[in-house]
């Protein structure tokens, strides 16, 4: 019997990063440029307490474009993780897509990267690696490409424009 066969499926909260968890200033990779979206840390903590799996799915074409490195991104994610822990919250997994069709860095050039949203690759990987209940899961994103990835992965998508993430999810009746 596989590990997943004995593990109860749980809903996942998939979160885009830039524009949902932090202000999207364009290619954010340095902590000094990082600013949390109001309510973001509280949302992660609330979903953690409710037993949801919380997953970040983020296009990171800045890596493929040569603006910053994977190590830079991992350093930023480690700092986010530290601050979330101080708020009693955690991200279960970070998935990222550094590929881009026009990436000058050849290792990251791909004509249609399967993980880059609007493709659903990051969500599908997470669902293969975690005991995720697809039907009860949601993705919160700030772009049409996020909504398309959610739809293609069979997950409900919620388009977050700006403001307070906690208030937004409360308005949707989704804050646990």
pLDDT tens string, the chain, 176 residues long: the values are 344 455 799 999 999 999 999 999 999 999 999 999 999 999 999 999 999 999 999 999 999 999 999 999 999 999 999 999 999 999 999 999 999 998 998 899 999 999 999 999 999 999 999 999 999 999 999 999 999 999 999 999 999 999 999 999 999 999 98
Is 63 exposed, middle or buried, given 0-12, 13-18 or 19+ CB atoms closer than 10 A? Answer: buried
72 is catalytic: no
Residues within the annotated binding site for Mg(2+)?
A: 16, 18, 142-143
Report if residue 172 sits inside a domain.
no
Q: How far apart are CA 139 and CA 9, in angstroms?
A: 17
Residues within the annotated binding site?
A: 16-18, 24-27, 58-61, 116-117, 142-143
Report if residue 17 sits inside a domain.
no
Report if residue 44 sits inside a domain.
yes
CB 76 within 8 A of CB 100: no
Report if residue 168 sits inside a domain.
no
Q: How far apart are CA 75 and CA 8, in angstroms?
A: 32
What domain range is 70 assigned to?
24-142
Report if residue 154 sits inside a domain.
no
Alpha helices in 87-137 (DSSP H): 121-129
Report if residue 2 sits inside a domain.
no
18 is catalytic: yes
> The domain that contains 31 carries what CATH number?
3.40.50.1000
Report if residue 53 sits inside a domain.
yes
What's the total number of domains in the chain?
1
Output the six-digit token pair for 89: 């919250």
Report if residue 82 sits inside a domain.
yes
Q: 84: which residues sit within 8 A by CB, 6+ positions away?
A: 41, 44, 45, 90, 91
Termini Cα distance of the chain? 32
- Which one of the listed residues 16, 92, 115, 146 is annotated catalytic? 16
- Which one of the listed residues 18, 92, 115, 146 is annotated catalytic? 18
Residues within the annotated binding site for substrate?
A: 16-18, 24-27, 58-61, 116-117, 143
Q: 103: which residues sit within 8 A by CB, 6+ positions away?
A: 61, 64, 65, 66, 109, 110
């Amino acid at each position: 019997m596989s590990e997943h066969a004995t593990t109860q499926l749980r809903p996942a909260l998939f979160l885009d990063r830039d524009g949902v968890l932090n202000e999207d200033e364009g290619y954010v990779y340095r902590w000094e440029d990082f600013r949390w979206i109001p309510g973001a840390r509280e949302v992660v903590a609330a979903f953690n307490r409710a037993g949801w799996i919380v997953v970040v799915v983020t296009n990171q074409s800045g890596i493929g474009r040569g603006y910053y490195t994977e190590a830079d991104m991992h350093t930023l994610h480690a700092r986010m993780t530290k601050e979330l822990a101080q708020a009693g919250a955690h991200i279960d997994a970070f998935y990222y897509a550094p590929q881009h069709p026009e990436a000058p860095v050849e290792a990251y050039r791909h004509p249609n990267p399967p993980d880059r949203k609007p493709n659903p690759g990051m969500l599908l990987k997470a669902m293969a690696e975690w005991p995720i209940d697809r039907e009860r899961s949601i993705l919160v994103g700030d772009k049409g490409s996020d909504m398309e990835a959610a739809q293609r992965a069979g997950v409900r998508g919620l388009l977050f424009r700006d403001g307070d993430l906690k208030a937004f999810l409360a308005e949707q009746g989704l804050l646990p």
